[in-house]
Structure 1
Amino acid sequence: MAISKYLESRKNIAGSACGLLGLVLTFTGVAGPYWPVVVAGLYGAGALIAPPERPPLPDFPTPSAQLDELREDFGKLGAYLAEVELPPAAAGRLTELTGLLSTLLEPGWVAEVLAQDPEGVHTLSRVVRQDLPEAVDTFVRTRWWTRMTPGTEPPERHLERQLTLLQEEAERLTAALRETEARRQESHTRYLEDRSK
Structure 2
Amino acid sequence: MATSRGAGGGAVLGYVASRKNLAGSACGVAGVGLALAGGAGAHWPVVVAALYGAGALIAPPERPPVPDLPDPHEQLALVRENLARLREYLAEAGPAPVGGKLAALLELYEALLDPGWAAEVLAVDPEAVHALDRAIRLDVPECVDTYHRTRWWTRWNPGGESSEQHLERQLAVLSEEAEKLTADLREAEARRQRTHTAYLEERGRS
The TM-score range, normalised by the shorter chain, is 0.7 to 0.9
> Would you say 1:20 and 2:29 are equivalent positions?
yes
After superposing on structure 2, the runs of 4+ consecutive aligned residues of structure 1 that deviate more than 6 Å are: none
Map Cα deviations across residues 37-78 of structure 1 (whole Å, 9 max, x no partner): 443332222112223334446555454443333222222111
Task: From the superposition, tell whether residues 193 and 18 of structure 1 become closer, same or farther in structure 2 (CA, over 3 Å).
Answer: same
Alignment of structure 1 residues 152-191 onto 2, 5 Å? 153-191=161-199
Q: Counterpart amino acid of 1:90? A: V
**Could you say which residue in structure 2 is the equivalent of 1:77?**
86
Give the letter for the 2:87 counterpart: G
- Report the RMSD for the aligned CA atoms in angstroms: 2.6
- Of 166-175 and 145-154, deviating more is 145-154
CA distance in 2, matches of 1:71, 1:179: 23
Identical residues among aligned pairs (%): 60
TM-score by length of 1: 0.83
Please list every run of 5 or more consecutive structure 2 residues that lacks an aligned counterpart in the other structure.
Answer: 1-9
Instruction: Tell me: CA distance 1:150–1:6, structure 2 relative to 1, closer, same or farther (3 Å).
Output: closer
Q: What 5-or-longer segments of structure 1 have no aligned partner? A: none
Which has the larger displacement, 108-117 or 138-147? 108-117
How many residue pairs get aligned? The number is: 196
Residue 67 of structure 1 corresponds to 76
Superposed CA offset, 1:87-132 (max 9, x none): 4x51111111111111212333322322222331232122112221
Residue from 31, 37, 60 that aligns with 1:51: 60
CA 38–165 in structure 1, closer or farther in 2 if over 3 Å, else same: closer
1:9 is the counterpart of 2:18 = yes
| Alpha-carbon separation, structure 1, partners of 2:42 and 2:101 | 89
Q: Is the 8 A contact 1:63 1:116 kept in 2?
A: yes
Taking the aligned partners of 1:107 and 1:42, their CA distance within structure 2 comes to 60
Asked if the contact 1:146–1:152 (Cα under 8 Å) also holds between the matched residues in 2, the reply is: no
